[in-house]
Amino acid sequence: MKVAVVKETGPAERRVALVPEVVAKLRSAGHEIQVERGAGASAFFPDEAYSDAGATLIGPDQLSEADAILMVGRPDASQIGRMRAGQAVFGLLAPLTDPELVSRLAQAGVTAVSLDLIPRTLPRAQPMDALSSQANIAGYKAALLAATAFGRFFPLLITAAGTARPAKVLVLGTGVAGLQAIGTARRLGAVVSAYDVRPETRTEVESLGATFVELTSVGSASGTGGYARALTDAERASQQAELADHITKHDVVITTAQVPGRRPPLLVTSAALKAMAAGSVLVDMGASALGGNVEGSAPGETIVTDNGVTIIGADTLPSTMAAASSAMYARNVSSLLTYMIKDGAFTVDLDDELVAGVVITRDGAVIHPALTKAGPAGGPAPEPASSPAPDPAPSPTPPAANGD
């Protein structure tokens, strides 16, 4: 098979879909690999490393020659314009929040494969779980960013010049990223507490040496497939009010809460921010154009409030560790690609739950049940990403979480 790797065009995107080590593996499996010139440069993989691994360097106009195009993020209009009907395109396409991109991919006639829809609970999908690999990196980097921005120590430090008490860190949302943030903050010596609306995460939190914060005003919001469901308005208000008391008792808050296909839930209100001590730091991993976990946070920006609280909108953390995140992503995407190659040809077997979970467009049509009008398991279609409603009512979960 002929496989092409694009040079990413997304803002602040430094990752690349294949690293030279994985190129060499695909080459020895008999595939022809083309890499767009400069594709790996910002992840510290020069063109020569790809050539040495057996890839051919190409220009963007040659992308249409490939059977499959691999990317990390989403294609822009000019990349879609160069695609050829029948080609496969792999990426973290975020289709639940970008219906416009989905219809453009369908119009281009490509078979679009979205790694963020992988049914993660299937054991055979684990090597392909790019959400987890990237969330792990993001959680690690969030804790480092927080420690760097905090004007005091994370660990207890006893010196001749005095004793520094350890920082109190609160992690909100304890999925893959949150657990890695807890582990990293603990390794730096902080005293860590954590909260998640899925109470079953308590055991994992405690096993990392952190204290699980239990809220009395909100019950479990566990959805299916391991994901959380969106809260009702009343639940959200209670959660925000009760969390505020905990937030003000901490020096550092790292927020990682997500509900698939939805605006990230708002957990830290401006009232909570006002009550925090000067010098406190928040790292909002949910920061997005639609709003984040922290009121007023902005993706890619660091804001200092009037009362001296630093809010870091940390939406592109995996990209800040592009060499590591690309290496992990390359293993994920190459595993999925090779899984879909049968007898040397790219094959879309929709009877396979894993394949049906990731293919969103084919032969000019949108085929994924979470994106068609019926929605998953007969539920409503997802709301468009541009929906102005903050943290709206429950909606369909992705395939891994079918039937909330």
Choose, from 14, 120, 236, 331, the residue flagged as catalytic.
120
Closer to ligand NAD by CB, 271 or 304: give it.
Answer: 271
Closer to ligand NAD by CB, 25 or 198: give it.
Answer: 198
382: nearest Cα among 44, 98, 80, 62 = 98
Looking only at residues 170 through 199 of this chain, which bind ligand NAD when binding is defined by CB under 6 A? 172-178, 196-198
Cβ atoms of residues 266 and 295 within 8 Å:
yes
Provide the b/e sequence for 317-329 (b: ≥16 CB within 10 Å): bbbbbbebbbbbb
Q: Min. distance of Cβ 365 from ligand NAD in angstroms?
A: 28
258 binds ligand NAD (CB under 6 A): yes
Catalytic residue check, 50: no
Of the residues 75, 265, 292, 376, which one makes contact with ligand NAD according to CB under 6 A? 265
Q: Min. distance of Cβ 359 from ligand NAD in angstroms?
A: 20
Of the residues 3, 182, 190, 259, which one makes contact with ligand NAD according to CB under 6 A? 259
120 binds ligand NAD (CB under 6 A): yes
Residue with tokens 């293993």: 331
Of the residues 136, 256, 334, 397, which one makes contact with ligand NAD according to CB under 6 A? 256
Strand partners, 252: 169, 281
Closer to ligand NAD by CB, 123 or 344: give it.
Answer: 123
Looking only at residues 326 through 345 of this chain, which bind ligand NAD when binding is defined by CB under 6 A? none
Q: Which region holds residue 199: left if phi is over 0, alpha if psi is between -120 and 50, else beta?
A: alpha
Cβ atoms of residues 346 and 88 within 8 Å:
yes
Count of residues that interact with ligand NAD, criterion CB under 6 A: 29
Q: Which residues contact 86 (CB under 8 A, 6 or more apart)?
A: 109, 110, 111
Can you point out the beta strands (E) in 271-340?
Answer: 281-284, 302-304, 310-313
Query: In degrees, to the nearest 5, what angle opens at C-alpha 284 toward C-alphas 278 and 288?
Result: 130
Provide the b/e sequence for 53-65 (b: ≥16 CB within 10 Å): bbbeebeeeebee
Q: Min. distance of Cβ 353 from ligand NAD in angstroms?
A: 14
Handedness of CA 267, 269, 275, 277 (dihedral sign): positive
C-alpha 377/C-alpha 373 separation (Å) is 11
Closer to ligand NAD by CB, 43 or 171: give it.
Answer: 171
- What track of x and - describes contact with ligand NAD for positions 296 through 325 (by CB under 6 A)? ------------------------------
Residue 207: other Cβ atoms inside 10 A: 11
40 binds ligand NAD (CB under 6 A): no
- What track of x and - describes contact with ligand NAD for positions 215 through 244 (by CB under 6 A)? -----------xxx--x-------------
Strand partners, 68: 3, 88
Task: Name the one range near ligand NAD by CB under 6 A: 54-62, 70-78, 185-193, 254-262.
Answer: 254-262
Contacts with ligand NAD by CB under 6 A lie at 120-121, 126, 129, 131-132, 135, 172-178, 196-198, 201, 226-228, 231, 256-260, 265, 267
Residues forming the active site:
120, 126, 129, 132, 227
